[in-house]
Structure 1
Amino acid sequence: MRCTSCAESHNRERRIQYARQYYADNYPRRPEVYTCGACGLEFGWKARGGNPPRNCLSCTTANLRQRQNARNRAATTARRPVVFTCVICGEARPVARHGQIPVCCRDCRPEYARRAEQARRDANALPPTVWRTTCLGCGKTIEQIGRNGNFRKRCPSCAERAWKQQSQQWLKDRPEIRRVKNRNNKRNRRLARRDPASEKFTDIEIYERDGWVCGICKQPVDRTLIFPNLWSVSLDHVIPLVRGGKHRRDNVQCAHWLCNSRKTYRLESEMNQLRRRSKTIVTFVE
């Protein structure tokens, strides 16, 4: 027989011993060190209940983050449209998997930027106003509507007359340019009367096309020299006009003034014969 206090302590010890035996039989002690199946490192795990871990904590967290990102991408891809319509050309273009959905295609970006800039300027521009002023040329009253104070000071006829005067004064101050322009105009009028099918072009256009290389002697031409220098640049007709040639781009070439004057009305084949004959004569004399 036991007293009440001893009986309670005895029963408590029996319950503890029974619980220990029960957990030892049904939940055997697991090893405290495991090997990660992903990275192969060893890690500790003291919990008894539940399934044993397969990976370490860092690999498990990385796997969960990867699966969550995959679910997010799948949900985002499902919500994104497959194609978009360009606001400039109206064509349907594919949409990338990530990033912002574009408004226009790559080829139309300059035009889209230009329209956006024009819309911004129109939004910030002042409202159109009516402005009346006196023409500086004829003295008439000009009434015009504009924005931001950009108004004409002359009527159209006076503005055209002033522009012509400025152009003529500019040519008077530069006699070498005026001389070339007058020569080109005179030649174009003369050739137009002779052959209506002749083409209109400038000498500089032909010189730049040929790279400032003489088509007769195949030597470079100094563009700084001007007539009457013998090695200045001139325009040569491959087939002379007196031999039936046409004033067209395919029948003209760049040439030295001296080479062009020596060629005169001859053809290229005749010039080659003349060169061979001169070489033969020089060899015979020697």
Structure 2
Amino acid sequence: MCATPFITDNPRDRHCSPRCGKRADKDKRRALERNAFVAPVNRAQVYERDHWTCQLCREPVMRHEVVPHPQAPTLDHIVPLSRGGTHEPANVQLAHYRCNSIKSDGDWPHASAALSGDRRPPWPPLPLPGFSRIGAV
């Protein structure tokens, strides 16, 4: 979850801490409750794949913040589980806690770019609904 490198003597350890393990278990449990397809999703790999950039607003994510901080990293399901989405690497992306909360299980204006596999950030970065950019005129 946190992308912290760790060394262990136990080959069964998949997470750096119990907290990281609980978070991964929660994601899997939510998907199974909705009868969604579940594949292993490694948060650290998703975060690195997305270059620590929110895929909804295209702004950098604060790596060391934790939820409920608005800029904490979270996994966002591109097609929400509640709408038949799957829990697999192809259907998850990095999002700020704030952005993910705003999106909820609804649509984001530029979700189609993420669905098409286009992970290049648009220019200029997309503003969040209801938020103005600092220094914007």
Q: Aligned residue for 2:38?
A: 198
Q: Aligned residue for 1:243?
A: 83
Q: Letter of the 2:102 partner, please give it.
A: R
Q: Aligned residue for 1:136?
A: none
> Conserved in 2, the CA contact under 8 Å of 1:263 and 1:271?
no
Instruction: State how far apart, in whole Å, the 2-side matches of 1:212 and 1:270 are.
Output: 18
**Long gaps (5+) in structure 1:** 1-162, 280-286
Match of 2:95 among 255, 263, 268: 255
1:271 and 1:210, CA in 2 relative to 1: closer, same or farther beyond 3 A?
closer
Q: Aligned residue for 1:228?
A: 68
Instruction: State how far apart, in whole Å, the 1-side matches of 2:110 and 2:63 are.
Output: 28
* RMSD between superposed Cα atoms in Å: 3.1
User: Which is richer in helix?
Assistant: 1
Q: Write the mapping of 1:139-158 to structure 2, written as runs, cut at 5 A.
A: none
Instruction: State how far apart, in whole Å, the 2-side matches of 1:271 and 1:202 are.
Output: 21
> Conserved in 2, the CA contact under 8 Å of 1:238 and 1:268?
no
Q: Give CA deviations for 1:168-214 in whole Å, capped at 9, x if unaligned.
A: xxx9xx8xx3122112123224424523x321122111001101000
Instruction: State how far apart, in whole Å, the 2-side matches of 1:263 and 1:189 are.
Output: 21
Q: Aligned residue for 1:182?
A: 22
Instruction: State how far apart, in whole Å, the 2-side matches of 1:270 and 1:214 are.
Output: 12
- Structure with larger Rg: 1
Instruction: State how far apart, in whole Å, the 1-side matches of 2:64 and 2:110 are.
Output: 31
Q: Structure 1 residue runs of 4+, over 4 Å off?
A: none
TM-score, normalized by length of structure 2?
Answer: 0.63
Number of residue-to-residue matches in the alignment: 104
Instruction: State how far apart, in whole Å, the 2-side matches of 1:192 and 1:261 are.
Output: 21
Instruction: State how far apart, in whole Å, the 1-side matches of 2:110 and 2:83 are.
Output: 13
TM-score, normalized by length of structure 1?
Answer: 0.32
Q: Give CA deviations for 1:225-269 in whole Å, capped at 9, x if unaligned.
A: 122211111000111111111112111100100000011011234
Q: Write the mapping of 1:18-167 to structure 2, written as runs, cut at 5 A.
A: none
Task: Please state if 1:215 is matched with 2:22.
Answer: no
Larger RCO of the pair (alpha carbons < 8 Å, separation 6+) = 2
